[in-house]
């Protein structure tokens, strides 16, 4: 089967994790960039990437690139693609734009230029006129702009891969599913140790952890844009699905998603059921500042509020301090990872991070911070505090 270049996009900070995923799925000539990973593969590799990648947002198939310093250049660039191979007169399209180019005042104008080029080419080559469908187009087109240049790709996915389909009801500021999976992989979670999310909200960390632990492919049962293309091979899709299903297993260790809000717990149970992993995740009521992990060597993952709204940060200092106090008391050779979206607030944790990984939660630059918890850490911390007091008061 012929191989071609493919591009998987992701949240910034997850490029290396995504590259490892692609290698594990058999991708070739893998090269990580900024917010994306380039690789090569055949049609089956493209399908496997859509179904199996946890941290990717889109799988793109580049079809052309070149100069796009003005409207005419962009129109000519888009016109030279054989759109008739993918789109019929009765079909639908949509153009998604990323990046920027000063030649185009806004992305809507650039999308309109590409749309016009596609429609004109279809009309000239085979007659008729495809229409625009922004919700579920037959052919989603991805336009990436960079000063004076543009690249145009087919979007094999359609709805972003981060939208797994299990979370129709999100709580306030839910964590992106692909980012949650990436954070777990950055924490080297593979299901072989107990996991606790004490601020579980609507269960995103729990769902993604369960899929990793059971080796369930995140896109196993959803639909994709490539299924509506004229050259789609249903036999290959069936084969890839069967291969991925054969890899599944029971979760080997406990996974606990806790929250103090009864409404969030109810939605979490619904979401985990929709994801097909509710049997592997215990959803329990609890306070993050008092909970115990499910065993020694546990992984604790926390996405606390960032305090971005006016006046919130001051009120959250106590929460961050209490989280730090709780982590100091846990020990048991556990590891805690906290997604810190507010550097000043994170200082109130009162523990030294063993590692800080820059990641982006949407537009918010965060640090994924690791804290190694050992038995006796509370005693050591108390001794350090006593020493500090003695240094301040010579009479002591």
* Residues 21-66: tens digit of each pLDDT: 999 999 999 999 999 999 999 999 999 999 999 999 999 999 999 9
End-to-end CA distance of the chain: 78
Q: How confident is the model at residue 314 (pLDDT cuts 50, 70, 90)?
A: confident
* Residues 332-389: tens digit of each pLDDT: 899 999 999 999 999 999 999 999 999 999 899 999 999 999 875 444 444 444 444 4
Fold match flag (4-155 vs 177-217+250-381):
no
Q: Give the start-to-end residue ranges of the domains of the chain.
A: 4-155, 177-217+250-381
Q: Which residue did the predictor score with more confidence, 107 or 154? A: 154
Q: Of 48-57, 166-175, 314-323, give the range with the top mean pLDDT.
A: 48-57
Mean pLDDT, residues 294-312 taken together? 86
Residue 73 pLDDT exceeds 60: yes
* Residues 107-145: tens digit of each pLDDT: 899 999 999 999 999 999 998 899 999 989 999 999 999
What is the CATH code of the structural domain delimited by 4-155?
3.30.2130.30
Structural fold of domain 177-217+250-381 = Rossmann fold (3.40.50)
């Amino acid at each position: 089967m012929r191989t071609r270049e493919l591009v998987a996009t992701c949240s910034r900070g997850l490029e290396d994790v995504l590259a490892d995923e692609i290698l594990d799925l058999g991708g070739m000539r893998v090269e990580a960039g900024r917010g994306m990973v380039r690789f090569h593969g055949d049609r089956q590799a493209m399908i496997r990437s859509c179904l199996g990648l946890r941290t990717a947002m889109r799988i793109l198939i580049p079809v052309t690139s070149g100069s796009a310093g003005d409207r005419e250049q962009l129109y000519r660039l888009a016109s030279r693609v054989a759109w008739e191979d993918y789109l019929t007169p009765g079909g639908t399209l949509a153009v998604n734009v990323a990046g920027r180019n000063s030649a185009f005042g806004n992305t809507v104008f650039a999308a309109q230029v590409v749309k016009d080029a596609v429609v004109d080419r279809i009309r000239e080559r085979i007659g008729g006129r495809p229409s625009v469908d922004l919700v579920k187009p037959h052919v989603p087109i991805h336009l990436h702009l960079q000063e004076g240049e543009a690249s145009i790709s087919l979007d094999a996915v359609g709805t972003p891969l981060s939208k797994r389909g299990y979370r129709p009801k999100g709580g306030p500021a839910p964590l992106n599913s692909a980012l949650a999976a990436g954070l777990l992989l950055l924490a080297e979670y593979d299901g072989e140790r107990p996991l606790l999310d004490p601020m579980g909200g609507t269960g995103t960390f729990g769902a993604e952890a369960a899929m990793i632990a059971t080796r369930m492919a995140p896109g196993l049962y959803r639909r994709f844009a490539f299924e509506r293309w004229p050259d789609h091979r249903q036999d290959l899709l069936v084969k890839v699905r069967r291969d991925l299903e054969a890899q599944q297993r029971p979760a080997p260790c406990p996974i606990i998603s806790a929250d103090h809000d009864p409404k969030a717990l109810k939605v979490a149970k619904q979401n985990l059921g929709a994801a097909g992993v509710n049997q592997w995740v215990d959803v329990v009521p609890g306070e993050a500042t008092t909970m115990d992990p499910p065993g020694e060597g546990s992984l604790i993952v926390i996405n606390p509020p960032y305090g971005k709204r006016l006046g919130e940060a001051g009120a959250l200092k106590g929460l961050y301090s209490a989280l730090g106090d709780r982590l100091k008391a846990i020990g048991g050779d556990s590891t805690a990872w906290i997604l810190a979206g507010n550097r000043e607030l994170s200082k109130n944790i009162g523990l030294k991070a063993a590692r800080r990984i820059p990641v982006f939660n949407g537009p918010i630059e965060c640090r994924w911070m690791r804290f190694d918890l050992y038995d006796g850490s509370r005693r050591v911390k108390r001794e350090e505090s006593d020493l500090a007091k003695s240094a301040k008061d010579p009479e002591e």
